[in-house]
Amino acid sequence: MRKKMVAGNWKMNMTPSQAVKLAKELKPKVDTNEVDVVFCVPAIDIVPVVNELKDSGIKVGAENMFYEEKGAYTGELSPEMLIDAGVTYVIIGHSERRQYFHETDEVINKKMRKAIEHKLLPILCCGESLEQREKGVTIEFIKKQIASAFKYIPPENVINCVIAYEPIWAIGTGRVATAEQAQEVCEAIRGSIRDIYGAVVAERIRILYGGSVNAANASQIFSMPDIDGGLVGGASLKPEFADIVNYNKK
C-alpha cells in the first residue's frame, strides 16, 4: 500500500522570515504519520525552514538543482549543497522550468541522474499543454516525457522517486482536471513505468496530481487508484493546505 504524499511547491514566494512564519503556522496542523508532507521552498528559505521543522516529520524539498557537482555555474545549486542544507526531495522538470528556462528532456534526465546519485529523491513533473490535450496526444506525450526522464536510471533507484502529473492548462488557472481525467493519465504513467521496469517498481512508485488542487477537490482526486497525493501550488501558501493534507479526516 503506497503512503499518500502531499508536497507544497512554494514557487517564488516567501522571504526567509515569511517562510519561517508559514512553516511555524502549518507545522502543528500537517505533521502527521498518515501522510508524507513536503515543503518545497525557494533556495534562500531552505536553511531557516529546515531549522523550523527539525523536530517534526515534515520534509523539505528544493524547487530546482543543477546537474554538476561544482564549478563556474553562477546562480546554480549543486546536490551536495542541498543535502548539506537538509534537503530530502527536489522538484525536477516542472513545466515552468521547461517553459521559462528552456529545460529540455536531456537536461531533466541529467538532473534526475545526478539527484539519484546523491540520494536526493526527485519529484519529476510531467504534463501536457491545452493544445496537446485538444489534439488527443496527451498519453503519447506524457509517456515520452517519462521514458526520457528515466533514461539510464536502474530500477532499484526508481522505486523511491515520485512522479507528479501536472497538466499545464490546470496550473494556477483555477481549472482542474476531473478526477477521472487525472486518473486516466496517472494510470498511463504507471503503465509506462511498468513497461520499462516491471510490475513491482510500477506498483511501488508514487504518482501525484498537481494543478489547482484545493481543500474542496483533494479528497475526490486522492481517492483515485493511481493517484497517491498531490503537488500543491498556490494552496500550499494558505491555511487550507492543512485541509488538503488532512483530506481523509473530514
pLDDT digits (tens, 9 = 90+) for 130-153: 899 999 999 999 999 999 999 999
Length of the chain equals 250
At which residue does the C-alpha cell 506525450 appear? 141
Listed by start position, the domains of the chain span 5-249
At which residue does the C-alpha cell 542541498 appear? 82
Residues 157-186 have a mean pLDDT of 92
- CA 90/CA 121 separation, integer angstroms: 6
State the average pLDDT for the chain. Answer: 96
At 108, list the grid cell: 531533466
Instruction: Please check whether residue 13 is in contact with residue 22, taking contact to mean a CB–CB distance below 8 angstroms.
Output: no
Q: What is the pTM of this model?
A: 0.96
pLDDT for the residue 91: 98
CB atoms within 10 A of CB 214: 18
Instruction: Please check whether residue 50 is in contact with residue 42, taking contact to mean a CB–CB distance below 8 angstroms.
Output: no
At which residue does the C-alpha cell 491545452 appear? 130
| Among 108, 80, 239, 91, CA closest to 166 | 91
Instruction: Please check whether residue 100 is in contact with residue 140, taking contact to mean a CB–CB distance below 8 angstroms.
Output: no
pLDDT for the residue 149: 98
Residue 85, SS3 per DSSP: helix
At 249, list the grid cell: 479526516
Q: Assign 187 a pLDDT band (cuts: 50, 70, 90).
A: very high
- CA 76/CA 90 separation, integer angstroms: 14
Q: What is the pLDDT of residues 193-244, one digit of tens each?
A: 999 999 999 999 999 999 889 999 999 999 999 999 999 999 999 999 999 9
Contacts of 53 (CB under 8 A, 6+ apart): 23, 27, 39, 59, 60
The burial of 154, by beta-carbon neighbours within 10 Å (0-12 exposed, 13-18 middle, 19 or more buried), is given as exposed
Q: What percent of the chain has pLDDT over 90?
A: 94
Q: What is the pLDDT of residues 65-107, one digit of tens each?
A: 999 999 999 999 999 999 999 999 999 999 999 999 999 999 9
Contacts of 149 (CB under 8 A, 6+ apart): 92, 93, 105, 108, 109, 112, 124, 126
Instruction: Please check whether residue 142 is in contact with residue 189, taking contact to mean a CB–CB distance below 8 angstroms.
Output: yes
| Among 123, 141, 250, 128, CA closest to 192 | 141
Q: Any idea which residues carry the catalytic annotation?
A: 94, 166
Q: Which residues in 190-210 are b (16+ Cβ under 10 Å) and which e? A: bebbeebbeeebbeebbbbbb
Q: How far is CA 21 from CA 8, 42, 48, 211, 214, in A?
A: 15, 15, 10, 25, 21
- CA 238/CA 241 separation, integer angstroms: 6
pLDDT at 171 over 90: no
CATH of 5-249, one of 1.10.3720.10, 3.40.50.300, 3.40.50.2300, 3.20.20.70: 3.20.20.70
Q: Assign 250 a pLDDT band (cuts: 50, 70, 90).
A: low
